[in-house]
Amino acid sequence: MDIVRARNAGMHTAASSEAGTAGFRPRPTDVFVVTYPKCGTTWVTQIVHQLRTGGDMSFGEITEVVPWDILALDCGQDLAADQVAAPRLFKSHEPADRIARGARYIVVARDPLDAFVSFYHFLPSYVGLPPGSLTVEEFADGVFDGVSHSGYIWDFLLGWWRRRAEKEVLWLCFEDLKEDLPREVRRIAAWLGYDADGADAPRVEAATANSSFEFMRSHGAQFDEHFTFARRRDAMGVPAEYVFGEAGVVGKLSKQPLEEN
């Protein structure tokens, strides 16, 4: 756990974090996909990117075209620059009281137990530890002792829940996306101002198809965070010979045996 704590601390610099929060002035049309870690960030980011581009998949890894607010400076990305399509889109795990203000926010909530299990399978591998290096109990002790940059999940969810009535905030649930993806894509599209039953029907259809679990799994290298990992591995102290793998499936301690992360 000490290795996880030390390497995770090198994930971004204080300057980059400041540049992506208090130091960033978003445009009113900008959209942030905001979640606690492992609550559907990449999934919803893909949905919105597909909606804004009409189905473009030409990116190498999605963070190249959707910057992570607090890692952008460290990754050589200019948050103020125009992006490949409008609206500009950003990934974030920032609490409601710390995120850059003045934009629009899609907040995704998830059953905390499922989020924890997905986090347990992801974070040790991201910082260069082999599977099984930590027990679930050891990881829980570490996460609840402040390892996560995003703080405690209940504080995170409650902070955003208090802002749920703001017109600039759209609240989604991971479980609703799993239950009926086409319905939720249409909901996101409507909030963004697209006409799903009219001129924008093709882009909504493309976003739905390109955001299915089967499609994203078959294009796993485009969603596995290797873009940020490659730029921060030295600062995290990850051994040079370590290879970070692509996204897959994770175990789940509740309801069902397997689930997408």
Looking up residue 26, the CATH number of its domain turns out to be 3.40.50.300
Is 202 within a domain? yes
Answer yes or no: are the C-beta atoms of 127 and 3 closer than 8 Å.
Answer: yes
Is 167 within a domain? yes
d(CA 195, CA 259): 32
Coil, helix or strand at residue 188: helix
Q: Bridge-partner residues for 214, per DSSP?
A: none
Q: Exposure of 234 by Cβ count < 10 A (0-12 exposed, 13-18 middle, 19+ buried)?
A: exposed
Angle between helix axes 181-192 and 41-53 (nearest 10 degrees) is 60
Structure tokens at 160: 């955003």
pLDDT for the residue numbered 126:
78
pLDDT digits (tens, 9 = 90+) for 111-144: 988 988 888 888 777 788 877 788 888 888 777 6
Q: Which residue range is the domain that position 226 belongs to? A: 2-240+249-256
pLDDT digits (tens, 9 = 90+) for 149-176: 777 888 999 999 999 999 999 999 999 9
Q: What is the DSSP string of 127-186?
A: TTPPTTSS-HHHHHHHIIIIISTT--HHHHHHHHHTTTTSTTEEEEEHHHHHH-HHHHHH
Give residue 210's pLDDT band: very low, low, confident or very high (50, 70, 90): very high
Answer yes or no: are the C-beta atoms of 76 and 220 closer than 8 Å.
Answer: no
Answer yes or no: are the C-beta atoms of 155 and 164 closer than 8 Å.
Answer: no
Give residue 40's pLDDT band: very low, low, confident or very high (50, 70, 90): very high
Is 261 within a domain? no
Coil, helix or strand at residue 111: coil
Structure tokens at 35: 């979640």
User: Which of 76-80, 100-104, 125-129, 205-209 shows the lowest per-residue confidence on average (mean pLDDT)?
Assistant: 125-129
Is 51 within a domain? yes
Domain count for the chain, please give it. Answer: 1
